[in-house]
A = this chain, B = another copy of it.
Amino acid sequence: MAVFLSTFENKVDRKGRVSIPASFRGALEQEKSTGIILYPSFKHACIEGNGDERIQEIVNSIDALDVFSDEAENLQTILADARQLAIDSDGRIILPSEFIEYAQLDGVATFVGLGKGFQIWEPKTFTEHRAKNRERARKQGATLRIVSSDKTVVT
């Protein structure tokens, strides 16, 4: 299974190009993804990333719902905001301008490995976010139950 770990800081040039961290590329190859899927996070000012294998699962799952239901429509908004991006021969993608704006990137992007996926943050914003997360974890006392078949939470 592909696993995205650690954090990396890479530059975003004038054209919006940014290198995907080499270890992330390795993870993508493992899951046979030729490209990646990006979409704006519901909860935070960051971009969510997955291998493009993942999107097929989401599409199929939405398709399993009643076509005309509100539920299906709600979820389709995710797809409307998502983009599939090819990784070029230099290991880079071009970040669409709407994502650069949404995450308020200014020349630098922080790639954050989250196991099954990853996030792209503006470095300063991420630092603050991480500080808050750690604080909360300390207060609440984080616990984790390991399960065989895995559960994922996309935010």
Query: Interface on A for B, CB 8 Å cutoff?
Result: 3-7, 23, 37, 42-43, 55-64, 68, 70-71, 73-84, 112-116, 130, 133-134, 136-137, 140, 142, 144-155
Contact = CB atoms under 8 A, between A and B. Distances in A.
A61 B3 contact: no
Contacts of A6: 80-84
10 contacts: A4-B79, A5-B79, A57-B152, A61-B145, A61-B148, A78-B154, A80-B130, A149-B149, A153-B155, A155-B155
Given A80-B114, A145-B61, A150 B152 contact: yes
Contacts of A134: 77
Contacts of A78: 154
Contact of A43 (B82, B84, B155): B155
7 smallest CB-CB distances across A and B, nearest first, come from A74-B137, A59-B115, A74-B142, A76-B114, A61-B147, A6-B83, A79-B115
A150 B146 CA distance: 11
Contact of A136 (B68, B74, B152): B74
Contacts of A130: 77, 80
A153 B60 CA distance: 15
Contacts of A113: 79-80, 82
A57 B154 CA distance: 13
Contacts of A145: 61
Contact of A150 (B71, B77, B151, B155): B151
